[in-house]
């Protein structure tokens, strides 16, 4: 299977929406396109897609995190591989491309947050060389 890895473009919105739904974040192409527009034009964000057989089979989004208490770092905001293509090292390659982007930007660290219920993702990131450094809860308040 031939795979192509490249930066996302707005025309990928339909496929990114399809894959986002598999991850449990349903959205339509218009919503994804509206979200992607500022991300694709931002120098401190990257979205990389994996394409096979004329369709997207995965994507990863990473961005800069600026915090008062720590030096700037890159954080993976989302990663999904098409359920039909899992186990083919696509996720690992997407993470590697993300790591390359982060290094070229001068970041010393790449982080990711994973829901406590996503046990498969925990194993994936450990296998990819990530270390679990803390457990936290996320609080939300609608405005």
Q: Where are the domains of the chain?
A: 4-114
Please provide the average confidence, as pLDDT, over all residues in the chain.
Answer: 95
Q: Are 29 and 20 in contact (CB under 8 A)?
A: no
User: Model-level pTM?
Assistant: 0.92
Q: Helices in 1-143 by DSSP H: which ranges?
A: 13-23, 29-41, 90-104, 119-127
| Percent over 70 (pLDDT), the chain | 100
Question: pLDDT-derived band of residue 138, with 50, 70 and 90 as boundaries?
Answer: confident
Give me the residue label for tokens 């982007």: 101
- pLDDT tens digits for 70-122? 999 999 999 999 999 999 999 999 999 999 999 999 999 999 999 888 889 99
pLDDT at 1 > cutoff 80: no
Pick the CATH number of 4-114 from 3.40.50.300, 3.40.630.30, 3.20.20.70, 3.40.50.720: 3.40.630.30
Q: What six digits make up the tokens of 76?
A: 């993976």
């Amino acid at each position: 299977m031939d795979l192509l890895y490249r930066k996302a473009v707005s025309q990928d919105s339909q496929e990114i929406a399809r894959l986002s739904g598999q991850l449990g974040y349903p959205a339509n192409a218009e919503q994804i396109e509206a979200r992607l527009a500022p991300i694709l034009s931002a120098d401190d964000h990257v979205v990389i897609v994996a394409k096979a057989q004329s369709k997207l089979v995965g994507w990863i989004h990473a961005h800069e995190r600026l915090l008062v208490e720590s030096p700037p770092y890159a954080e993976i905001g989302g990663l999904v591989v098409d359920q039909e293509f899992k186990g083919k090292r696509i996720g690992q390659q997407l993470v590697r491309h993300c790591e390359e982007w982060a290094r070229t930007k001068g970041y010393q660290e790449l982080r990711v947050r994973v829901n406590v219920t996503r046990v498969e993702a925990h194993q994936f990131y450990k296998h990819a060389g990530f270390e679990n450094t803390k457990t936290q809860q996320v609080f939300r308040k609608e405005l």
